A = this chain, B = another copy of it.
Amino acid sequence: MQCTIRSISPVGNYLHLILDAPEVDEVAPGHFAAVAVGGIGGGMLLRRAFSIHKSTPGQTLEIIFAAHGQGTQWLATQSAGDVIDVIAPLGKPFVLPRQPISCVIVAGGYGAAPMELLARELRGRGCRVDVVLGAATQEKLFGVLDLKGVADSVIVTTDDGTSGVRGRVTDVLADVINKNKSQAVYACGPMPMLQAVAKVSQDNGAFSQCAVEESMACGIGVCMTCVLPVIGDDGVTRMSRSCVDGPVFRGDRVRWDDVHTVPSDAFGAPRPGGH
C-alpha cells in the first residue's frame, strides 16, 4: 500500500509519522506495520516493523520510531508529501479481557507507542487501567501525557532519574499490581524488560501479555527468521514465529531464558547423534 506522509515530527528522541492510509480499516492494539525503506535503487530489501500507534480507519496510520540503523535513518529523512510503501495491519494483537478487570500497562521507550490505543480499548470495556512507563532517560519516554489522559494512574521510571522514579519499570510493578489487584499485565518494550515483567506478573498472580521484538525478514510468516521458543497449549515448546503467532505472546508461555537458542526439548530440536 502506497502511503503519503502527512507529517513527520520529533517527539523526544523519536519521530512521529502520520500517514495517509485509506486502505487500512480496523487496527487493534499490538498490530504492527511493515514499512519499506530506501527508495529507488535502494540496497535495503527488508521492511522495518513498527507498532501501530494510532489509526483512523480508512484515513490515517501513525507510528513512533527511533532513527536507529540505516533503514530508520532513511525513514527519518522523508518528509510530508513523500510516499512510502506500508503493509498493515500485521500480527496478532493483544487479547482483550471479556470482563471489566483491573489491568496494568507496562512499556519501555517506544514500546509505549501502541499503549494509548490499548488503554482506550480497555477503558472502553470498563477495565481499570494503571500504567507504568519506563525509559533510560527522559527523552526516551513516550506517551506520558497521552496516557495520563486515559489511564487511572501513570507511574514513570527512568534509569537515570531524569523523570519520575529512578529505576526500572519492574521496580514499581509489583506494588502497582498488588495495590490495584490487577489481573492482567500488558507489556511492550525491550526483551529483557518483557522477561522481567512476565516474571513479576506471574509472581504477583497476574496474567501477562508481552509484545516481543524479534528481528524479522518477512513479517508475514513465510521465512522463519523471527522465531522464539514458546510453550503451546499442549505443553510442547515450539520455535514460534513472532510475526504471525505474535508479536503478542502470553508472558508465561515464552521461554525467556532460552530466547536466541533452541532448547533441547523443543519440537524438532537436534538430538544427540544428529537429527
Residues of A within 8 A of B (CB): 37-44, 70-71, 73-74, 77
- Compute how far the CA of A182 lies from the CA of B189 in the bound complex, rounded to whole angstroms: 76
Say yes or no: B41 contacts A38, CB within 8 Å: yes
Residues of B within 8 A of A70 (CB): 40-41
Say yes or no: A77 contacts B41, CB within 8 Å: no
Residues of B within 8 A of A41 (CB): 37-38, 42-44, 70-71, 73-74
Q: Specify the chain B residue showing the minimal Cβ separation from A44.
A: B41
Q: Specify the chain B residue showing the minimal Cβ separation from A82.
A: B77
Min CB–CB distance A271 → chain B (angstroms): 41
Q: A40-B70, A42-B42, A43-B43 are in contact. List 19 more A-B contacts (CB 8 A).
A: A37-B41, A38-B40, A38-B41, A38-B42, A38-B43, A39-B39, A39-B74, A39-B77, A40-B73, A40-B74, A40-B77, A41-B42, A41-B43, A41-B44, A41-B70, A41-B71, A41-B73, A41-B74, A42-B43
- Compute how far the CA of A77 lies from the CA of B82 in the bound complex, rounded to whole angstroms: 10
Min CB–CB distance A233 → chain B (angstroms): 42
- Compute how far the CA of A38 lies from the CA of B41 in the bound complex, rounded to whole angstroms: 6
Min CB–CB distance A67 → chain B (angstroms): 10
- Compute how far the CA of A212 lies from the CA of B42 in the bound complex, rounded to whole angstroms: 29
Q: Specify the chain B residue showing the minimal Cβ separation from A38.
A: B41
Residues of B within 8 A of A38 (CB): 40-43
